[in-house]
Structure 1
Amino acid sequence: MAVTTVTGRPALPALPDPATEALLAGGLLPELAHAFGGPFHFLLPDAFDTNLRSLRGALAAAGVKGFVYFAKKANKAAVFAERAAALGAGVDVASVGELREALGHGVRGEHLMVTGPAKDPHLLRLAVRHGALVAVDALDELDAVITRAFAGQPYPARVLLRVLPPLQPHSRFGMAEDELATAMDRCVTAGDALRMEGFSFHLSGYETGPRADLAARLAGLCRTARSKGLAADRISIGGGLPVSYTDADSWRTFLEAQRPADYHAGKTFRSGDFYPYHSPLAGADALTALLATRPGNSGTTLAGVLRDAGLELLLEPGRALLDRAGATVFTIQGVKERDGYRLLTVDGTSLSLSEQWFGSEYLPDPRLIPQSFEDSEKWAEGAEGAESGESEVPGGTYPASVGAATCLESDLLTWRKIAFPRRPRVGDLLLYPNTAGYQMDSNESPFHDLPLPPKVVIDRTDRTRPRWRLDRHFT
């Protein structure tokens, strides 16, 4: 059901998350904020495990052999690589640092997928040496892999050939049709030094039809490659499984109602600038729908195409594995009155909430957390506010935008005037929900010499009392 405040400003509540609600109820977050003296991220690895099981379940239900790689770029935390290793999943890496991190946290070399354009020679050397699967992006890169494969390597180098999507011909990634033909011939010439395992693509957007069509085309390419004597028994469709952050009614209402007056300084965003924060099919459900889609000119579903061709489906999700796997907490350190709303300053920057740095806005409503249990109880009883003596009105709203602790005019975590249910005060916390996927650290920087927010791993094995530790991120 859509939520619209009495001020007329559309809200965008995050979908319920029992694990986060349990942390809020237990009072752990104010203690962590006091301990660290600054913003922090908390991580919920149980959610990663659940999401991985769901994706595997969708593959099994469709009768499709598959393998899941966690796209490590989505979050730098070590714990997610640890969980992938423990559960026998893979990790998608695109740098020497990511490869070392994955190996260092237990991921087997043959469970690594190496992606990205124009790969560093050292990255290729390590990938070949550890038996990782390399998604080759260009002919010269294929030549570099073959050279390393012949350089005393005891087992074949493993490659996929990355395809330029026909619907995105201006993409800087992948090989066109004539390049793919040349690449297959070079793979044949390489002989036993190289194992060409199939093809891959990455497609922008979340539509199932184009993704199914291109996957079916890759299945046809595998048949062509096999006719040349190549293995070609796997295809990778990359990521592209959406996450739903809010309900359908709230998302529709927000898009219809938002206007410049809802933002600090009349900031404008186009609807197309926003991530689609609601998706009717997300995560494993989106994968199920994709496998049930009939590619164009096919008499069967994508799952049927894969089964008939004897192909294994490789997936490289990031956001979909991190759904509800963490959140970000800031402390309010300043409150200014503006014309009809407040401007909050928190103890961090929008670099730790990355959407702003892509010219967009992270839209799920932040949660206002009182400083202590006592404050929470007084608020529930309708007690008077602390600083100004202004009474808190049960059911009232207190709109505020959220700025960062920097000297940059444009450094706002939330331009939108969030209608909080109580008056924000210095010392209160703001919890931004579901930030593990790409938000936490994609653009983090120690600007102004501010420390990077630590990542706190929450262990809920003992359901009566959550325990925490700092994420082990070795350098």
Structure 2
Amino acid sequence: MAVTPAPAPPPTAAPPLPAHPDPRLDAILGGGLPHELSHALGGPFHLLLTERFDANVTSFVQALDEAGVEGRVYYAKKANKAAAWMERCALTGTGVDVASAGELRDALAHGVRGEHVVVTGPAKAEGLLRVAVLQGCLIAVDALDELEGVHAQARAVDRPARVLLRRLPPAQPHSRFGLDDGELEAALARCAQARDAIVMEGFSFHLSGYATEPRAELASELVELCLKARVMGLRADRISIGGGFAVDYAAAGHWERFLREQRPAHYHAGKSFDPADFYPYHSPVAGADALRAVLAAHNLAERLRAAGVTLLLEPGRALLDRAGCTVFRVQGVKDRGGYGVVTVDGSSLSLSEQWFNSEYLPDPVLLPAHESQGEPYAACVGGATCLESDMLTWRKVRFPARPAPGDLLVYPNTAGYQMDSNESPFHELPLPPKVVLDTADGRTRWRLDRHPLA
């Protein structure tokens, strides 16, 4: 899927937005394997590259090491349900962030140690808290009544519970998550009172958006809160700053041109989107570099070192950057006066942005079943259901030639939140399987993603 300077698109086509070049994936996609898998599996599928996940985890760890900061990376499991990521976390000692009993069971079943799991989310169920306490998980407490629930479970199983107190971000006071100033003060007093059953290890927060400076500012506040909590006899030696590390999908020039030139005429049926609803598909500071920016702002790294505070991170999408793509087979093409409508063998439920009043913008790549010559062809992409709204790509994408039945469309870099957040077997269409690729020894081998209960 190498990117070359694109000629001017047909008048009806949207401005191009190719994903960053990925020579390793290009080699895999150009070798015939996608067509073989499409034939074998009989429908759409997702490709997963676990070595990319490992490399992304390593890049975050390196950023912590460079700053001389003690830290731990927790993979936010909600970003992708594949068992492959749990297998890698278990083998490498990477932490996992879960928010339900099912996610916790899945992590533990794959060998992730309980002490390497952080349990987040609001109003956690009794059963989830019980298992979390028994397994020694770190629990991010979101409310005062939840703290009482944790205390009750710890007493019931006669094991101390490890907790973080989740801070309501002052800059986002309308968030439904976290403890405000008064609640935080009450929670600290309760933790001090219940030290036999609760080990208060520190504080956490989650911020919307991807800006680095506000994360550093709030993290610095949490460091000070740790120091105050220690005066109360509490451990308070770590803080979690959650996720929100952007992924850079496309080059700045392509992204700026897309935002500048896109208009309703570039979309099927004159569909329009608010650009504010688009994910920022170009980010000049992304992934581990975003962590470096957080550590550099407000002297955060120095404050963490001086206070002896460990920094916890919960990235999801950023650990899945370039770690997967989604492949659909073309079932039919119809002309609609200046552009085409391509129908593929799946649905937009496999591209979650479409279900958030937005559009997944990195351009799909055409893999023809046979060599073909033709003029550039603009087309939108629809799913195989009977819903008008089932559009994988509303915009009219410029393809190098008219797609044909049997061709494949590859949507790049979909592992982060896209490929299974909203999938369902609507119309009794089977869920796309996940195919794990292994290229470690110079060969490309594949297997279906495993599940511990399968």
TM tier, smaller? over 0.9
Of 110, 114, 132, which residue of structure 1 is paired with 2:137? 132
Cα distance, 1:257 vs. partner? 0.3
Mark the CA change 1:45 to 1:217 in structure 2 (over 3 Å): closer, same or farther. Answer: same
Mark the CA change 1:256 to 1:147 in structure 2 (over 3 Å): closer, same or farther. Answer: same
TM-score normalized by structure 1? Answer: 0.93
Distance 1:106 1:6 in 2: 50
Of 356, 359, 364, which residue of structure 1 is paired with 2:357? 359
- 1:410 maps to 2:389: yes
User: Residue type matched to 1:277 in 2?
Assistant: Y
| 1:474 alignment counterpart | 452
| 2:84 alignment counterpart | 79
- 1:451 maps to 2:430: yes
Distance 2:8 2:327 in 1: 24
TM-score normalized by structure 2? Answer: 0.97
Of 35, 46, 58, which residue of structure 1 is paired with 2:63? 58
Alignment of 1:270-309 (within 5 A): 270-294=274-298, 301-309=299-307
Of 381, 400, 403, which residue of structure 2 is paired with 1:424? 403
| 1:258 alignment counterpart | 262
Distance 1:80 1:142 in 2: 30
Secondary structure of 2:409's match? strand
Q: Deviations over 1:76-97 (max 9, x none)?
A: 0000011111111110000111
* Alignment root-mean-square deviation, CA: 1.1
| 1:440 alignment counterpart | 419
Of 175, 193, 196, which residue of structure 2 is paired with 1:189? 193
- 1:208 maps to 2:186: no
User: Residue type matched to 1:121 in 2?
Assistant: E
Contact 1:456 1:468 (8 Å CA) reproduced:
yes
User: Residue type matched to 1:471 in 2?
Assistant: D
Cα distance, 1:3 vs. partner? 4.6
Distance 2:441 2:366 in 1: 27
Of 218, 224, 237, which residue of structure 1 is paired with 2:222? 218
Distance 2:152 2:83 in 1: 32
| 2:111 alignment counterpart | 106
| 2:308 alignment counterpart | 310
User: Residue type matched to 1:233 in 2?
Assistant: D
- 1:170 maps to 2:149: no
Contact 1:3 1:10 (8 Å CA) reproduced:
no
Cα distance, 1:20 vs. partner? 1.4
Paired positions, count: 448
Contact 2:110 2:452 (8 Å CA) reproduced:
no
Secondary structure of 1:192's match? coil
Distance 1:462 1:310 in 2: 41
Worse-matched range after superposition: 189-198 or 135-144: 189-198
- Could you tell me which runs of 5 or more consecutive residues in structure 1 were left unpaired when the two chains were aligned: 295-300, 383-391
Secondary structure of 1:414's match? strand
Distance 1:139 1:336 in 2: 58
Distance 1:168 1:426 in 2: 49
| 1:385 alignment counterpart | none
| 1:199 alignment counterpart | 203
Contact 1:2 1:249 (8 Å CA) reproduced:
no
Cα distance, 1:6 vs. partner? 3.4
| 1:389 alignment counterpart | none
Cα distance, 1:240 vs. partner? 0.6
